[in-house]
Amino acid sequence: MDTRQFGSTGYDVTEIGLGTWNVGPSWGDVTDEQAKESIRTALDDGVNFLDTAEVYGDGRAERLIGEVLDERDPDRRIYVATKAAPDEDEGHSEEGLRASVEGSLDRLGVDSLDLVQLHCPETEAFYDPENFRVLEDLREEGKIEHAGVSVEKVEEASKAIEYDVVETVQIIFNPLRQRPAERFFERASNEDVGIIVRVPLASGLLADAFEGIDDFGEGDHRRTAAEGGVEAGVGRKGGETFAGVPFEDGLRAVDDLRPFVPEDATMAQFTLRWILDHDAVSTVIPGSTTPEHVGENDDAAALAPLSHQTHGAVRDIYEEHVADYVHHRW
Catalytic (active-site) positions: 56
CB 178 within 8 A of CB 260: no
- Residue 142 burial class via C-beta count within 10 angstroms: exposed 0-12, middle 13-18, buried 19 and up: exposed
Q: What is the rounded CA–CA span in Å between residue 66 and residue 52?
A: 11
Q: Are 175 and 164 in contact (CB under 8 A)?
A: no
Q: Which residue type sits at 285?
A: I
Pairing of strands 194-198, 166-172: parallel
163, 162, 320, 161: which is closest to 171 by C-alpha?
161
Angle at 110 between CA 107 and CA 111, to 5 degrees: 125
**What are the two backbone dihedrals, phi and then psi, of residue 20, each rounded to the nearest 5 degrees?**
-125, 25
* Helix (H/G/I), strand (E/B), else coil: 40: helix
Q: Where are the alpha helices (DSSP H) in the chain?
A: 32-44, 60-71, 94-108, 129-140, 154-160, 179-183, 185-190, 221-228, 247-257, 267-276, 291-299, 308-321, 323-326
Round to whole Å and give the CA distance between 67 and 108.
8
